[in-house]
Amino acid sequence: MSKNKYLRQLPKVDEFLDFPEVKEFSAMYPRPLVVEGVRKVIDDKRGTILALSEKDLEEFDLSVTSYLDELEMWLKQQYALSLKRLINATGVVIHTNLGRSILSKSAIEAVVNAASNYSNLEFDLEKGARGSRHSHIEKILVKITGAEAGMVVNNNASAVFLALTALAAGKEAIVSRGQLVEIGGSFRIPDVMSQSGAIMREVGTTNKTYIRDYRAALTDETALLLKVHTSNFRIVGFTHEPSLEELVELGREVGVTVMEDLGSGVLVDLSRYGVEYEPTVQESVRAGVDIITFSGDKLLGGPQAGLVVGKAEYVERMKKHPLARAVRVDKMTLAGIEATLMEYLDMDNVCAINPTLRMITSPADELKARAKKIARLLASNLGEAFTVTTEPETSKVGGGSLPLAELPTTVVSITSSATSAHRLEEMLRANEPPIIVRIKEDAVLLDPRTIQEGEEREILDALKRVEAR
């Protein structure tokens, strides 16, 4: 009986929509979403009234404010973008789950420019006729790598797939058993080969493969000698694999194309900066490999893309293959890659301006100073429950690159007498913006290597919110 009294107090949808506050929401959010939200909030209230006992109903909040709060929360949730910025405090630079590489300033500008304006994407300004989208990237790619020709596709997985399809479909491709790798996300070399229509001829063993193994597997049907860089693991100890030079020499002798999937595809010798050596694209080009593929967003530090360089004859065949259209890049990627590559014209400076390279080559003493500074900021602004210290640690390159490299760093270690490390990790992850951290034993670790300028304050604010709970 008295439930009716409460039900009668529920506003009608039209009335609710006329509230001045709701009208304000209509200016901020799409009108249909506001109407949906208003209906939902009223329905929820009705549901609660019907479910509650009469005694509980007496204390039930039916004020206008309570409706408005619920509506606002719902609208915010619905209208928030799912893909959002977060703070990477893990120290893993090329974190595949967190978007791999972030772009340099000039690459970002190029992307925005391509997105906001018409461009000569496929228009030859000199001839006034249709042009090729590959042309924009090819000149700089060739200049930097020393290759004859180049092209760019959606990602390295599609570059490998396109190369195998265009160069070896229906024919045999020889590959060492030590290089049949799986990259994350179920990209497996044997599966990609079978999808491409190339017939895989495995040679050698897991740990040892000789050039004579390749030679013994040659038939009239052999179209490709394939070398895959074992990016994300290392076989150590009693091992052998033929050098690139040996493979190229054999390819020349018998007239078979040599292809290399380099994976990360680094353009600067990182050992100059004390980071583990990773074979460069230029070395593969110099060795005479016919077709080389690598990623745009791993050690190159650009947007997601697959780069292809090599002999013009093979690159041309790939460009003309019908599959090339299916794996082509969009103009924003193209713009981002071109601007990223431009920065490699000055090899001595690129590590200072390309964010991925900058983070990987950050000097240990600089990271230590930053860790201490962050620790001081946190310690002096947080209450007694928190203990903030710094300690030596190592960071990872990530992205299936340089799996053994341990980059020396100093981390900020946080423990709380009120909150376990796991709970703290959860609460930081639920923050806006989310903060992703490492846990070691019972401490949360923040690695300054991947924390961007200005994010220190946001971390402090998040910890203060944790404290206030």
Ligand X SMILES: *Cc1c(COP(=O)(O)O)cnc(C)c1O
Residue 403 beta carbon to ligand X: minimum distance, rounded to whole angstroms: 10
Place of tokens 């601007």: 339
- CA separation, residue 134 to residues 1, 127, 131, 140, 149 (Å): 75, 16, 9, 11, 10
Cis peptide bond prior to 403, omega within 30° of 0: no
Residue 294 beta carbon to ligand X: minimum distance, rounded to whole angstroms: 8
Length of the chain: 469
Report the distance separating Cα 411 and Cα 393, nearest Å. 6
Residue 264 DSSP code: T
List all residues 6 or more positions away from 371 whose beta carbon is below 8 Å from its beta carbon: 390, 409, 410, 411, 412, 446, 448
Residue 293 beta carbon to ligand X: minimum distance, rounded to whole angstroms: 8
Nearer to ligand X, 167 or 412 (CB): 167
Nearer to ligand X, 266 or 421 (CB): 266
Residue 179 beta carbon to ligand X: minimum distance, rounded to whole angstroms: 9
Nearer to ligand X, 264 or 390 (CB): 264
Residue 229 beta carbon to ligand X: minimum distance, rounded to whole angstroms: 5
Residue 215 beta carbon to ligand X: minimum distance, rounded to whole angstroms: 24
Nearer to ligand X, 400 or 448 (CB): 400
Nearer to ligand X, 155 or 395 (CB): 155
Nearest to 257 by CA among 235, 300, 227: 227
Place of tokens 């041309």: 316
Q: Which residue is nearest to ligand X (CB)?
A: 263
Residue 285 beta carbon to ligand X: minimum distance, rounded to whole angstroms: 17
Report the distance separating Cα 194 and Cα 196, nearest Å. 5
Question: In b/e form, how buried is each residue of 140-177, taking b as 16+ CB within 10 angstroms?
Answer: bbbebbebbbbbbbbbbbbbbbbbbbbbbeebbbbbbe
List all residues 6 or more positions away from 231 whose beta carbon is below 8 Å from its beta carbon: 181, 183, 263, 264, 400, 401, 403
Coil/strand/helix, residue 272 = helix
**Long-range interactions of 234-239: CB distance < 8 A, separation 24+:** 234/403, 234/404, 235/178, 235/206, 235/207, 237/207, 238/207, 238/208, 239/178, 239/207, 239/208
Nearer to ligand X, 250 or 299 (CB): 299
Residue 191 beta carbon to ligand X: minimum distance, rounded to whole angstroms: 12
In terms of Cβ atoms closer than 10 Å to its own Cβ (0-12, 13-18, 19+), residue 351 is buried
Contacts with ligand X by CB under 6 A lie at: 155-157, 160, 183, 187, 228-229, 231, 261, 263-264, 295, 306, 400
Report the distance separating Cα 34 and Cα 103, nearest Å. 36
Nearer to ligand X, 100 or 331 (CB): 100
Report the distance separating Cα 334 and Cα 150, nearest Å. 13
Nearer to ligand X, 75 or 262 (CB): 262
Nearer to ligand X, 306 or 448 (CB): 306
Nearer to ligand X, 37 or 296 (CB): 296
Residue 397 beta carbon to ligand X: minimum distance, rounded to whole angstroms: 12
Place of tokens 């593969």: 284
Residue 187 beta carbon to ligand X: minimum distance, rounded to whole angstroms: 6
